[in-house]
Chains A and B, each alone.
Chain A
Amino acid sequence: MSGETALKLTADVLVIGGGPAGAWAAWSAASKGAKVVLVDKGYLGSSGATAPGGTNLLYLPPDKEMRDKAVRERMASGGYLSEAGWIHRVLDQVYINLERVEQWGYPFVRDENGVPQRNHLQGPEYMALMRKTVKKAGVKVLDHAPALELLVDEHGVGGARGALRQQGKDWEVRAGAVVIATGGCAFLSKGLGCNVLTGDGYLMGAEVGAELSGMEFSRRYAPAPAFSSNTRSRLLGWATYYDQDGKELKGSRNGDFLAERLLEGPVYAIMNKADTPEKRAILRSSHAIFFLPYDRAGIDVFTQPFPLTLRYEGTVRGTGGLRIVDDNCETTVPGLYAAGDAATRERITGAASGGGAFNASWAICSGTWSGEGAARYALSQRAGADSRQLRSAGRYGLAETTGGRALSSPRVETAELVRAIQDQVFPLQINYFRSEVGLKAALNKLHSYWPSVNEQAPGNVHERVHAREAAAMAATARWIYTAGLARKETRGAGLHLLAEYPDEDPNQHHRLLVSGLETIRTRPDRTFLGGASAASYPGTEQGA
């Protein structure tokens, strides 16, 4: 990197990312006695998919029967790629942590028996509370400090470098352990709060040799008003859908319904199932963000039609991410941990989307565990991070450091590169209605763009950050389609499918690992099975 390194810090644990997972990781590490620095691309409190809206939580009281049932349902809907023990672990941990959230001051509503209803959080208040809690725990928070590359030596990861993008300078943090909590990758599709999620952590991890898992499970689009960013669609269950002639679109709205209809023409919705003032008031107070764009557009959603679109959600509502190999969410690289959507969520979601409840609880739990694990690891290291001979690991989209590039080489505009990637990733015909033929063609194009990531020539710090994001998105798209082509079956709730292979294949009862940047390798992972197979879970019902 070329900027002046204005800020050099040493810590036990560096947390990269300030959404829920990063906040919990930082709090957790600090409460184990570690000196912690948290850096975020934006602002801890407003960054990420959680902050602007509300989020449901996977949260059940400690009732064995209820929890066993939930676990069985999830194992089935996830195509038996999840692990019952891990789902139970999340249920245990999130119960403890949400009690903490209440103690810290979050005003959960109580039912008529005085029982707090802890299965939904309003994002703005939740994340403001987490910022306060993290700072109170002694964590040093750097906002607008995107990490651009990790620091490594032969012992593993030892910190990171990045930009202070409001000062035009660089930072460097040396740390005994690093937690990547940068979220997933939604390819700048403008889903609510998701444009900070560009796969940065996946790229940083892959550059030091970390593997990714579950990247094929990424076929999820969210309904939104056609003109708006508002991908919080839970309330659309109260809507009736119509075509442009006002004819009702009947039939089950599960699965491919909206995607198929949208390929035929515009789809409109009216929230006319909320047919009393009482119901409408309840809807408004539960998911206020849902109504904001319509109110501003002057549309009464309960009586007037509004047009719908689908925005791609990538690995945010997919399940893939950095592979984690132990109970502390450590990756395969020593000193490097992953939490939240930056990590694979297959251990609890399998082949089903963790959208909403599962991912929110996963962020809380994986944050807590990775923070603890990173603190323990860092505090056990004999040599301090500042005495190590660390080198910068970044190789892609960091134009100013690649060196050796002839001045005559063509300059690639970052915005054009991003559009080219999006053109292969957004179309429903390619990425939703997946086929081997379609994915191969798209992947070939994406591979051909890959050299371009190092032909960008950013002129200022903002463009530097965007150039790196473009590289991360290009890499992520290639991992998604490479994994998609390697899983020649349709498993679980259809978070990945290939038209040529419509059935589940018992011989592919494994996770898929991808790694590498120039050349991408895939291999099956059966380590989670531990001798068990789908037959060990008889009599399960399909999950919701």
Chain B
Amino acid sequence: MIELVSEDRCIQCGLCVKVCPTNVFDTNEDGLPVIARQEDCQTCYMCEAYCPVDALFVAHHADEKVAVTEQDLIDRDLLGSWRAIIGFGSRGKVSMAANDTTPILRQARSGIARGE
């Protein structure tokens, strides 16, 4: 579930509020996104994918809340890590689609007997 909005990094663009498909965020009086309905988070990582400044962190736990600290996430190089992997929306990085190895995977897979 979503666990962190970094106030330090957030530029108040409102994109996460807009793209979250389950409407987890509200915008507070200062214009910052706040996690208003964490229980509605479906752990789909889409907010992270769209955040232009890597200010969000979705923990991998789908059913329970976990404590995170921003410094620990920075130290472990996790802030913005999903966005970096998929090259999403950021210029200069290779897009996931352009780098798709699924066709190669199909060939490799044919060498492995299915379901064994």
Residues of A within 8 A of B (CB): 41-43, 45-48, 51-52, 54, 56, 106-109, 111, 117, 119-122, 124-126, 128, 143-144, 165-166, 190, 192-196, 225, 227-229, 237-238, 252-254, 273, 279, 281-283, 285-289, 292-297, 462, 544
Contacts and interface: CB of A to CB of B under 8 A. Distances in A.
Given A282-B101, A285-B101, A229 B96 contact: no
Nearest to A255: B115
B43 A286 contact: no
A195 B100 contact: no
A192 B44 contact: yes
Given A108-B97, A193-B44, A286-B105, 11 more contacts: A46-B20, A47-B21, A51-B46, A122-B86, A124-B46, A126-B97, A192-B42, A192-B44, A194-B42, A254-B115, A296-B60
Question: A111, A122, A293: which has the most chain B beta carbons within 10 Å?
Answer: A122
A106 B97 contact: yes
28 contacts: A42-B23, A43-B19, A48-B21, A51-B46, A52-B45, A54-B100, A107-B97, A107-B98, A108-B100, A117-B103, A119-B102, A120-B100, A128-B88, A166-B17, A192-B44, A196-B22, A227-B63, A237-B114, A253-B116, A285-B101, A286-B100, A286-B101, A288-B85, A288-B96, A292-B85, A295-B81, A296-B59, A296-B78
Contacts of A227: 60-64
A190 B109 contact: no
A253 B115 contact: yes
Question: B37, B64, B86: which has the most chain A beta carbons within 10 Å?
Answer: B86
Given A253-B116, A283-B105, A295-B81, A122 B97 contact: yes
Nearest to A115: B103
A109 B103 contact: yes
Given A109-B98, A122-B100, A295-B81, A46 B19 contact: yes
B104 interface: yes
A258 to B, nearest CB: 11
Q: How large is the interface on B (under 10, 10 to 19, 20 to 34, 35 or more residues)?
A: 35 or more
Contacts of A109: 97-100, 103
Report whether over half of chain B's contact residues are helix, strand or loop; otherwise say mixed.
Answer: loop
B95 interface: yes
B45 A125 contact: no
B62 A228 contact: yes
Given A107-B97, A228-B62, A190 B43 contact: yes
A193 B22 CA distance: 9
Contacts of A544: 114
Contacts of A51: 21, 44, 46
B67 interface: no
Contact of A293 (B46, B60, B63, B85): B60
A297 B64 CA distance: 14
Given A47-B21, A286-B101, A193 B42 contact: yes
Interface string B14-44: 0001111111000000000000010010111
B108 interface: yes
A544 B106 CA distance: 14
A310 B75 CA distance: 33
B112 interface: yes
Interface of B: 17-23, 37, 40, 42-46, 49-50, 59-64, 78, 81-82, 85-86, 88-89, 95-105, 108-109, 112, 114-116
A166 B60 contact: no
Contacts of B43: 190, 192, 228-229
Contacts of A279: 108
Contacts of B61: 227-228
B48 to A, nearest CB: 10
A227 B85 CA distance: 22
A229 B2 CA distance: 12
Contact of A229 (B44, B86, B103): B44
A121 B44 contact: no
A497 B108 CA distance: 34
Contact of A41 (B21, B86, B102): B21
A51 B112 CA distance: 29
Contacts of B96: 122, 124-125, 285, 288
B42 A229 contact: yes
B37 A190 contact: no
Given A122-B96, A254-B115, A46 B60 contact: no
B46 A297 contact: no
Contacts of A106: 97
Contact of A297 (B19, B60, B88, B105): B60
A538 to B, nearest CB: 26
A295 B58 CA distance: 12
Contacts of A292: 45, 60, 82, 85
A43 B21 contact: yes
Nearest 10 A/B pairs, CB to CB? A42-B21, A293-B60, A195-B42, A229-B43, A46-B46, A229-B62, A107-B98, A120-B102, A117-B103, A285-B101
Contacts of B116: 252-253
Contacts of B89: 128
Contacts of B23: 42, 144, 165-166, 462
Nearest to A294: B60
Contacts of B103: 109, 111, 117, 119-120
